[in-house]
Amino acid sequence: MHDSEQSLCHYAAPAFTQIQCADGGSDVVLGNQDTVTIDFDRATNIPAGTVWSHTEVLRNLNPSVGAGFGAALTATWSSSSRVVITVANAAGAIPTLSCAQVSYRVSTAMGLRDVFNRSAASSSVSSPSMVSGSFAITEAQGEVLYSIDVLST
Q: Binding residues for Ca ion, per CB under 5 A? A: 23, 25, 27, 31, 34, 135
Query: Do residues 13 and 119 touch, judged by C-beta distance below 8 A?
Result: yes
Among all residues, whose Cβ is closest to Ca ion? 23
Min separation Cβ 83 and Ca ion, Å: 19
Residue closer to Ca ion (CB basis): 28 or 43: 28
Min separation Cβ 149 and Ca ion, Å: 16
Cα–Cα distance between 20 and 84 in angstroms, integer?
9
Of the candidates 75, 135, 78, 79, the one whose C-alpha atom is nearest the C-alpha of residue 102 is 135
Query: Do residues 73 and 54 touch, judged by C-beta distance below 8 A?
Result: yes
Min separation Cβ 93 and Ca ion, Å: 10
Question: Is residue 10 classed exposed, middle or buried when 0-12, 13-18 and 19+ CB atoms within 10 A define those classes?
Answer: exposed
Residue closer to Ca ion (CB basis): 23 or 114: 23
Min separation Cβ 30 and Ca ion, Å: 6
Residue closer to Ca ion (CB basis): 101 or 107: 101
